[in-house]
Amino acid sequence: MTRSLDGTAPELNPGVAQGVGRTALMVAAARAIETHRPDALARDEFAERFVRAAPASAGWPVRPDQVPGGDADPLWGRLGRYFALRTRVLDDHLLRTADSGVRQVVLLGAGLDSRAFRLGWPPGCVIHEIDTAGMMAFKQAVLDGAGAVPVAERRPLAADLRLDWADALTDTGFDPAVPTAWLVEGLLLYLPAAAERHLIATVDRLSAPGSTLAYEIKNLEGADVRASAVYTTTKARIDIDLPSLFDPDPRPASAADLARWGWSVSVRSPFDFTRLHGRGPLPEPNDALAANRWIFAEAPAPRTGHE
């Protein structure tokens, strides 16, 4: 059962507020804070509404002046700016792909982002969003309460990305015969290795020539970053133990698999984009972010497939 908060949205489903679902609220809070910075890397006018609508996050900061220590704060400063930088880089990637002529976009693990509403999509774009049923219901309620109108055609889909989701996506009108811009933001870190392999293989199978894929990975093999201030502060401040949510198994070589299947692949460090944009996190000792990589791939024409 749900109830209204300020007449805009119901409570977050208790199941969504746990574990990985709570990280979506954390990212939304980071986007809300970033939105109000004078040098914002990205802006999301709906992020604050998501944070305030959920009891789990209603007391979190949503503006820079509510962050103790500003950018020096490990959670809302350093980690928050990481999420803002990631948002900006992936926004830019999607819009470049759309400007090149791709009109079909799939956001896998869409979370509480509002790209269908806040980006300047070219005419004819269709945005497919996939996430859990609880997440999608909460998100829709907040957007409805805000009177949000998407810039592009939006087709939300409730599905478990650990399972088979391709048929359900096709049922929403997805066309595997046309190029697609795929985005997997902040998801693969939490999936079992087998689920990551299945997801990447499914994307490959459904991708027409000219499709693109962007995703984030974290390789913690041989690293122990539990003592990193980013993680210890997040646990102490908002009771999210990020390392415990990361899947402990060795990560698949997804980028190598894509290259073997004929994709052109670029592996980048977030710090590359900090230097490009002049703001965002830089490396530091015992760095929780040093293991993060952002992967950008494009399916060529003709493709080699899995042969």
Q: What is the pLDDT of residues 38-91, one digit of tens each?
A: 999 999 999 999 999 999 999 999 999 999 888 899 999 999 999 999 999 999
Domain with 285 in it: what CATH number? 3.40.50.150
Expressed as residue numbers, the domain containing 260 is 4-298
Report the percentage of the chain scoring pLDDT > 70. 90
Question: Does residue 10 lie in a domain region?
Answer: yes
pLDDT score of 4 more than 70: no
Residue scoring higher pLDDT (257 or 304): 257
Question: Does residue 145 lie in a domain region?
Answer: yes
Q: What is the pTM of this model?
A: 0.91
pLDDT given at position 263: 98
Of 204, 201, 219, which is closest to residue 289 (Cα–Cα)?
219
**Is 297:255 a contact under the CB 8 Å cutoff?**
yes
pLDDT given at position 15: 37
Of 59, 61, 64, 30, which is closest to residue 47 (Cα–Cα)?
30
Q: b or e along 28-67 (b: 16 or more beta carbons within 10 Å of the residue's beta carbon)? A: bbbbbbbbebeebbbbbebbbbbbbbbebbeebbbebeeb
Domain tally, the chain: 1
pLDDT given at position 250: 86
Residue 227: pLDDT band with limits 50, 70, 90: confident
Q: What is the pLDDT of residues 153-187, one digit of tens each?
A: 999 999 999 999 999 999 999 999 999 999 999 99
Question: Does residue 307 lie in a domain region?
Answer: no
Question: Does residue 305 lie in a domain region?
Answer: no
Question: Does residue 304 lie in a domain region?
Answer: no
Distance between CA atoms of residues 198 and 184, nearest Å: 13
Question: Does residue 172 lie in a domain region?
Answer: yes
Of 145, 153, 179, 163, which is closest to residue 48 (Cα–Cα)?
145
- The total number of residues written for the chain in this structure: 307
Residue 2: pLDDT band with limits 50, 70, 90: very low
Question: Does residue 303 lie in a domain region?
Answer: no
pLDDT given at position 166: 97
Choose the most confident range, by mean pLDDT, from 179-188, 244-253, 282-291. Answer: 179-188
Question: Does residue 106 lie in a domain region?
Answer: yes
Residue 215: pLDDT band with limits 50, 70, 90: very high
